[in-house]
Amino acid sequence: MPRSYPDRPMVGVGAVVFKGRQVLLIRRGKQPRLGEWSLPGGLQELGETVFEAAAREIMEETAVTIGDIGVIDIVDSIQHDDAGRVRFHYTLIDVVAEWRGGEPTAGTDAMHAEWIAPERLDAMDLWSETRRIIAEARRMRGR
């Protein structure tokens, strides 16, 4: 099924990965949101659990391994074109995870990957839902 103008929503998994206080972010290498800072992640594959999808996508996009994975929230990402047709429709399951190994290296759908200190997040151009999900992950982690 094509990613643009799909005939049904696609399930994507995004991860807030912590290494100490830092968060792993990527610059997207594909649409939607090409070139924007984002959480690493991607589409769930047939026969794969959400947590398996998160671990695989993080490894493919950033060369980082993760563990202690838990669900944060579900986000609907629906973008329309100028004619009102649905151009992209993703149901995004966002998870929180801890770094287990590896250093960020851009791969597959990412053009860049790096650890971002909390002080830098406010100055970054992030989708409002990405900000909300990171904040919720921090709250969950603090419990």
* pLDDT tens by residue, 23-32: 999 998 887 7
* pLDDT tens by residue, 73-95: 999 999 999 999 999 999 999 99
CB atoms within 10 A of CB 79: 13
Q: The domain that contains 35 carries what CATH number?
A: 3.90.79.10
Measured distance CA(26)–CA(49) in Å, rounded: 23
Location of structure tokens 């100055």? 123
The answer to whether residue 16 is domain-embedded is yes
User: pTM for the whole thing?
Assistant: 0.89
Number of domains in the chain: 1
Residue 143 has pLDDT above 70, yes or no: no
The answer to whether residue 4 is domain-embedded is no
* pLDDT tens by residue, 36-72: 899 999 999 999 999 999 999 999 999 999 999 999 9
The answer to whether residue 131 is domain-embedded is yes
The confidence score (pLDDT) of residue 113 equals: 95
The answer to whether residue 102 is domain-embedded is yes
